[in-house]
């Protein structure tokens, strides 16, 4: 059974940093691209980043480019999102999602971890 378990969310001040983790199991981790997708309270889904199975090709939404870094360790079946220079508008539930039939659709999602950026 595929499982994705996010952790690391919490309350952080504007300008601060946070590192999210996504522990994966139930599939060949290195063979699948993974993404982070976020959802602000009461709002819609917003794609954040994508990393290939090898970890060599990361992509970012313009809204987080230069502030967020996605990485993965295929030996630990873990995905990370390092978030720096956080802003109030980064407040959201952050989901990790596994690639489905192609890199642009997601067949499994975690339950999400909540990040609140506030002073």
- For residue 5, give every residue at least 6 positions away whose Cβ sits within 8 Å of its Cβ, in sequence order, or none: 22, 23, 24, 110, 111
Count the helices and strands in the chain (H runs, E runs): 0, 11
Which of the residues 5 through 34 are near other proteins (CB under 8 A)? none
Rounded to the nearest whole angstrom, what is the least distance from the CB of residue 31 to other proteins in the complex? 18
Count the residues of the shown chain that bind other proteins, applying the rule CB under 8 A. Answer: 24
Q: Over the range 12-27, which residues count as b (16 or more CB within 10 Å of their CB) and which as e?
A: beeeeebebbbbbeeb
Which one of 2, 11, 40, 45 is in contact with other proteins (CB under 8 A)?
A: 45
Which one of 24, 90, 112, 115 is in contact with other proteins (CB under 8 A)?
A: 112
**Residues within the interface to other proteins (CB under 8 A):** 35, 37, 44-47, 50, 59-61, 95, 97, 100-107, 109-112
């Amino acid at each position: 059974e595929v499982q994705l378990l996010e952790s690391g969310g919490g309350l952080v001040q504007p300008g601060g940093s946070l590192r999210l983790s996504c522990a994966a199991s139930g599939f060949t981790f290195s063979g699948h691209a993974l993404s982070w997708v976020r959802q602000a309270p009461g709002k819609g889904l917003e794609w954040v980043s994508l990393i290939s199975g090898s970890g060599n090709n990361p992509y970012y939404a313009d809204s987080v480019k230069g502030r967020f870094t996605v990485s993965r360790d295929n030996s630990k079946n873990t995905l990370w999102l390092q978030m720096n220079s956080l802003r109030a508008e980064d407040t959201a539930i952050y989901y990790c999602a596994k690639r489905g039939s192609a890199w642009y659709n997601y067949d499994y999602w975690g339950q999400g971890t909540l990040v609140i950026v506030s002073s």
